[in-house]
Amino acid sequence: MEIGDIKNIAVVGAGNMGHQITLLCALQGYNAACTDISEEMLQKARDFAGTYIAGRVQKGKLTDDEARAVKGRIRFAHSMKDAVADADYVIEAAVESLALKRQIFKDLDAFTPGHAILATNSSRIVSSRIADATRRPEKVINLHFFNPALVMKLVEVVNGPHCSEETAQISFQLCGRLGKTPVMLKKEVDGFLLNRMLGAILKEAMWLHEMGIATFEDIDKACVYGAGHPMGPFRLMDLTGIDLEYHIRMESFRNSGDRADFPVPGVVERFMRGDYGEKTGRGWYDYSDKK
């Protein structure tokens, strides 16, 4: 298969990452199907797509005809089997659970055409831990977009030991056609590139906060006004989701058994309350007055 053979892209998961990746694909000319087990999530994805496309028209970024064409290329389906039946490329964007991802990839292997490449948008779980759930491990790869996927330019392409060179190169080229800037990892590593570096900062920031050395607000200010970061680690956690941080840390703890990998009390407390960040109106910061 060559990059020009990819016409239909399916996204599994209609959450914040999944519905934005779906819309991104449609905006760049691909037929894009999005599927989720939650009808509520699918409806939110439909609403977001309609609002976003209308906004692009109002700003003069899309003509009315172009907007209609983009809408015509998007399809939302409750049935995964229907959504991926004609897919040339699939991007899984489900919650960070290895067991769940392995089941999804097992189903994708059964439901998709034999030539389809199966990618995971996981921010930490390497695809070699998923690939053997399929009969096409050479076509399984990490394709990690960053949040928000419609805005952030970086995509990490991780070439695992099971992955064919063809799959890696097509995935790399696809990122370019989606208007992104891809980087290729020659080997698998936990956390990939950027999250390994950000993780080191976050770990230190959490320690400083938990030890009572500084407030999370002041730690964020230090990163913004001292290091020149666009936002601090706690504000970034609110943006990406405290629930995501919780699940990532829990998955690491399950794998290692090391309590050092367990999520810190501040994260656990907010997760248990359902305060996930911007999407729930409260996380480390209060967003209740934000539209």
Give catalytic residues, as residue numbers: 123, 144, 156, 195
C-alpha–C-alpha distance, residues 123 and 146, integer Å: 8
Order the strands of the 31-35 sheet from edge to edge: 74-77, 31-35, 8-12, 89-92, 117-120, 140-145, 154-158, 181-185
Write down the residue that tokens 């199907």 correspond to: 33
Residues 156 and 193: beta-carbon distance below 8 Å:
yes
Q: What angle do CA 60, 63, 67 make, to 5 degrees?
A: 115
Read off the tokens for 203: 């770990």
Instruction: Tell me how far apart the alpha carbons of residues 140 and 27 are, in angstroms, rounded to a whole number.
Output: 25
Q: Which two tokens stand for residue 112?
A: 């998709």
Residue type, 48: F
Q: Are 109 and 101 in contact (CB under 8 A)?
A: no
**CA neighbor of 249 nearest in space, from 234, 263, 265:** 263
- In the chain, DSSP assigns E strands to 8-12, 31-35, 74-77, 89-92, 117-120, 140-145, 154-158, 181-185
Residue 113, preceding bond cis, omega within 30 degrees?
Answer: no
If you ran DSSP here, which 8-state letter would residue 286 be given? B
What one-letter code names the amino acid at 59?
K
